[in-house]
Structure 1
Amino acid sequence: MLQHLDQHATTFEMLTSYIYERLQRLLRVKHDIEDGFSWSFIYRADTDPDRTILDTEKVECNAKLGVALSVLSESFMPYIEEGSGTNIIQSIVYSCGSNIPRLDCKGFITVILEKDYEIISVASIRIHGNLLAEMPFVATVFAYRKKGMFARLLKIIESTLRHLNVELLVVPTVKQTKETWVRSFGFEPLDKRTENIIKGVNLMVCRGTEKLQKKIPKLT
């Protein structure tokens, strides 16, 4: 059974052992699916708690993170934290830690969807125990937009969270995209329970957004 740990836990070492073990099995593993697509969960190799990772795997992993950062940077204006000058998107992709909670991006995993070895859709997620996962940034390369690529990636993320027994997926949204999250992807405004949960969780704060939630069905 899952044991409840500190709600502020975001690093791999502080996740429940159940989630930790299964995440380790997912990291850096390429999963081939239909029509030439594949997906992977990747994490900055030089901070990965698995010290047995090969140098060639480190190079490939960090190269893919560089491409993922480019995909996100093409879709979002630079998100620079005013006080420190920190590039938040870059810190998320490279899972950079900080003693300042709002700047602490350790624990973020990058999920990528590839088509014939080209990264075409990207999402950043961070799992907070079995309570919830946050997904502050998602993007698809221009040539593949409006072709259902993110829907494919979201389905993979939700399936993975379900197998990890994570209850909720939380995203930030601006007014212009709220309807898409709700109508196309099944998100909804936060309920009171979720509002209470996130008070004890160090979620990434995105200026000018509101949060939406999606309940992850339990395995039957």
Structure 2
Amino acid sequence: MCAAHVKDFEQRARLMGGLYLIFFHLQKFLGKSNPTDIGDLSWTILRSNEKDGHDLHTSSYIEAMTNRKLENARAVLRDCYGRIVQPVTKTNLIKDIVFSKESKLPYQNYRGFYTMILDRGKRPISVATFRVHGDKVAEVPLLGTRVTSRQRGMARLLMNNLQKRIQYPSWFLQMPAHVGNV
């Protein structure tokens, strides 16, 4: 995207409202490694490169790297939650969410999910999946940290960076309750 196009898009987003501003801010961070306030930790927001109606101009190399990072994120979540199978379709729920699987059935449509990864070096240590609903709420169905990094505030660091970077003042994160040792 050229600078003039980005500026024009940002102006249109401001006119259209909060949801477009959130989308615009997410696009600025998509696929880029960003440092945290803590030493060698960085975070990245990713989204599956499947066709979603946006002109992303991605190369096959970028798609391959994104898919590899998403697979690593899926592995972290699988270690935390085990394999969660949809009862009707028998598909892997974690894979469907991480890779934004689209469906015509509303209760199985995971289109629009982003994955945020907290890395130490090139190794993912904490992962969150989220989807924005309107300009006030984001759904965070999966949040997990590797066993070796638990009880050190990694999930909190990840979620704090997510809220800070969206830059929308009255944002609310909705996380489902989970019973068990995650």
Asked if Structure 1 and Structure 2 have the same fold, meaning a TM-score greater than 0.5 normalized by the shorter chain, the answer is: yes
The CA distance in 2 between the partners of 1:67 and 1:2, in whole Å, is 38
One of 32, 35, 38 as aligned partner of 2:35: 32
TM-score, normalised to structure 2, is 0.83
Question: Are 2:130 and 2:139, in contact at CA under 8 Å, matched by a contact in 1?
Answer: yes
> Could you tell me which residue of structure 2 aligns to residue 144 of structure 1?
149
For the residue of structure 1 that corresponds to 2:117, the secondary structure is: strand
> Could you tell me which residue of structure 2 aligns to residue 68 of structure 1?
73
The CA distance in 2 between the partners of 1:157 and 1:145, in whole Å, is 19
One of 111, 127, 130 as aligned partner of 2:132: 127
Question: Are 1:140 and 1:150, in contact at CA under 8 Å, matched by a contact in 2?
Answer: yes
One of 43, 48, 64 as aligned partner of 1:44: 48
Where does the alignment leave 5 or more consecutive residues of structure 2 unmatched?
1-13
Which residue identity lines up with residue 111 of structure 1 in the other structure?
Answer: M
Q: Is 2:115 the partner of 1:107? A: no
The CA distance in 2 between the partners of 1:30 and 1:166, in whole Å, is 26
Q: Is 2:23 the partner of 1:20? A: yes
Alpha-carbon shift at residue 116 of structure 1 (Å): 1.3
> Could you tell me which residue of structure 1 aligns to residue 4 of structure 2?
none
The CA distance in 2 between the partners of 1:166 and 1:86, in whole Å, is 35
The CA distance in 1 between the partners of 2:180 and 2:74, in whole Å, is 23
The 5 A counterparts of 1:80-119 are 80-119=85-124
Which residue identity lines up with residue 45 of structure 1 in the other structure?
Answer: N
The RMSD of aligned alpha carbons is 2.2
> Could you tell me which residue of structure 2 aligns to residue 78 of structure 1?
83
Question: Are 1:81 and 1:87, in contact at CA under 8 Å, matched by a contact in 2?
Answer: yes
How big is each residue's C-alpha offset from its partner over 1:86-117, in whole Å with a ceiling of 9 and x where there is no partner?
21111000000111111000000000000111
Where does the alignment leave 5 or more consecutive residues of structure 1 unmatched?
5-14, 178-220
One of 149, 154, 164 as aligned partner of 1:159: 164
Segments of 4+ in structure 1 off by > 4 A?
Answer: 1-4
The CA distance in 2 between the partners of 1:176 and 1:2, in whole Å, is 44
How big is each residue's C-alpha offset from its partner over 1:44-77, in whole Å with a ceiling of 9 and x where there is no partner?
1233623312222211111000000010001113
For the residue of structure 2 that corresponds to 1:46, the secondary structure is: coil
> Could you tell me which residue of structure 2 aligns to residue 58 of structure 1?
63
Which residue identity lines up with residue 174 of structure 1 in the other structure?
Answer: H
Alignment coverage as a number of residue pairs: 167
> Could you tell me which residue of structure 2 aligns to residue 12 of structure 1?
none
TM-score, normalised to structure 1, is 0.69
Question: Are 2:42 and 2:120, in contact at CA under 8 Å, matched by a contact in 1?
Answer: yes
Alpha-carbon shift at residue 145 of structure 1 (Å): 1.1
Q: Residues 2 and 91 (structure 1 numbering): CA distance in 2 closer, same or farther, change over 3 Å? A: farther
Moved more, 57-66 or 75-84: 75-84
Which residue identity lines up with residue 174 of structure 2 in the other structure?
Answer: V
